[in-house]
Amino acid sequence: MISERDKARYPFTTESADYVKKLRIEVADLITEPYKPILKRAEERIRLALLKPDDLAPQEHDPSIEILSFPTSIMLMAYIDNENVKRRYAVAESKGFSKKLKTESLEKVIEIAQGTYYWNIKSKGQNLRETYEIFLHFIDYIKNIKNMNDLKWKLTNRYLKDGYVEITKNEATRLIEEEIQRKILKKTKNRKVEPPKALKEILETIKLITMEKTVFETFDTPSGIKVENMPPCIKKLFDSLSAGGRLSHLGRFTLTSFLVNTGATEEDVMNFFKSASDFDENKTKYQIEHISGRKGGKTKYKPPKCDTLKTHGLCFSPDEICNRIVHPLTYYRLKMKALKKK
Ligand code: SF4
C-alpha cells in the first residue's frame, strides 16, 4: 500500500500521478496562493539537482507540496533548451530516489516496480539463492540494462530460469533508477511552444541556475586542469560525463588516465565521476587507484594513443593541433606551454 509519505518520497509513482491529476491545478494557479510554495519547491529541486545533487532529499513536512513539486519541476525543465542540463537533472532525481528506495523493504520495492512500471516479477520461490531476492522477467531486465557497462549486468552472466532473471533488492532499485531517468528525459523533451506567462519569471531564474557553477568549474579549480586545453576527444568525454552521460569502458579509461596524468588527484576524479548516471563508488575507486598506479601493478597508465582512439571511434573533431601530435597528452602539454609563454 502506497501511503501519503510514500507518495511524497516517490512522486514518480502511479499513485502520486493520480493524486496530482485529481487536484486539477492549472499552471496559472501556481503563482497564486496557496500554491506558490509548490513553485518555490520545484525551483529548489532543480537548483539542488543541478548544483548539489547529494542534498536532494524530500521535504516531508508537507507531502502535498513535495508530490506536486516533482511534476512541476519536470514541466519547467521541459522549457529549458539544454539537453545536458536536462540529463543532469534526470540523473540527480533518479539517483536520489534509488538511494531512498534502497532503505525500503523488499515488498515496497516490488510494489513500486509492479505498480508503476508493470514489472513482471515472480514471487520468491525455492530456487532463489540466498542473496538474491527477486525473479524479474528478462524483458523488463533487458530494457533497463542497456546503459550498464559493468559485466555483471550482462544476461549471460546472470542466473536465468524459465525466462526470469535472479536479482537482488539493490539491483532492482538500480533498474528502477533507469526507469525513472528515462521517464524524466522523455517528459522534459523540449516544448516547442512559448511558456505560459505565469512561468516566465521562474524560468528566467532556472536559466540563471543552469549558468551557475557547474561540475566543470568545481573540478577545474582544485587540480588546476584547464578544460579549454584538453584535446577535443577528452573534452567530449569530459562534457558527456559532466552532463550525467555514460562512457564506454575505453572512454572511462581514457578520461581517467588523462586526468591522473595531468595533475588531478584521485579524490578530484572520484568527485567528477559522481556525475555519471552509472556511478558505482567502489568500482570507480578501484579503477582510479589502479589506473593511477597506487594499487595493483603499481603502473601509472597513460591514455591510449590517437591511433587507438581513432580505431575505437573516440577521436572527435580533431583540430589543427591534432595534426601535429600522436598522443592526447602531447596536445595538452603543447597548449599548456603556449599558455605559460603568454
Ligand atoms: S587526434 Fe588525438 S588528440 Fe586529437 S581528438 Fe583525435 S584522438 Fe584526440
Query: What pLDDT score does 217 carry?
Result: 44
Q: What is the pLDDT along the chain (342 residues), one digit of tens a residue?
A: 788 889 999 999 999 999 999 888 888 888 887 888 999 999 999 999 988 888 887 776 788 899 999 999 999 999 998 887 888 899 899 999 999 999 999 999 999 999 999 999 986 655 556 567 889 999 999 999 987 777 889 999 999 988 999 999 999 999 999 999 999 999 998 777 788 888 888 999 988 888 765 534 444 433 566 778 899 999 999 888 877 778 888 999 999 999 989 888 888 888 778 777 777 888 888 889 899 888 767 788 999 999 999 999 999 999 999 999 999 999 998 988 887 776
Rounded Cα gap, residues 219 and 288, in angstroms: 16
CA 204 centroid distance within chain: 24
- Ligand 1 atom closest to the Cα of residue 317 is 5
pLDDT one-digit tens code per residue, 206-250:
888 887 655 344 444 335 667 788 999 999 998 888 777 788 889
Question: What's 132's DSSP letter?
Answer: -
Q: Give, in order, the Cα–Cα distances in Å from 25 to each of 28, 34, 77, 159, 284.
A: 8, 11, 18, 47, 44
Considering only CA atoms, which residue is closest to atom 3 of ligand 1? 328
Q: What are phi and psi of 167, to 5 degrees?
A: -135, 160
Dihedral angle sign, alpha carbons of residues 189, 194, 198, 203? positive
Query: Does residue 122 sit in helix, strand or coil?
Result: strand
Percent of residues in the chain assigned helix, strand, coil, to nearest 5? 60, 5, 35
Which residue CA neighbors atom 6 of ligand 1 most closely? 315
Domains of the chain: 4-207 (1.20.930), 215-341 (no CATH)
Q: Name the amino acid, one letter, at 279.
A: F
Residue whose CA is at the smallest distance from ligand 1 atom 8: 233
Cell of 118: 508493470
How many helices (DSSP H) and strands (DSSP E) are in the chain? 16, 4
Residue 151 is classified by DSSP as G
Nearest to 227 by CA among 250, 267, 258, 254: 258
Q: Is 195 exposed, middle or buried (0-12, 13-18, 19+ CB in 10 A)?
A: middle
324 CA to middle of ligand 1, Å? 10
Q: Which of 261, 315, 326 to mutate to test the pocket of ligand 1 (most atoms within 8 A of CB)?
A: 315
Give the phi and the psi of residue 161 in degrees, each rounded to 5: -140, 125
Q: What angle do CA 40, 41, 45 make, to 5 degrees?
A: 120
The pTM is what? Answer: 0.72
Distance from Cα 231 to the centre of ligand 1, integer Å:
6
User: Cβ-count burial of 89 within 10 angstroms (0-12 exposed, 13-18 middle, 19+ buried)?
Assistant: buried
3-state SS, residue 339: helix
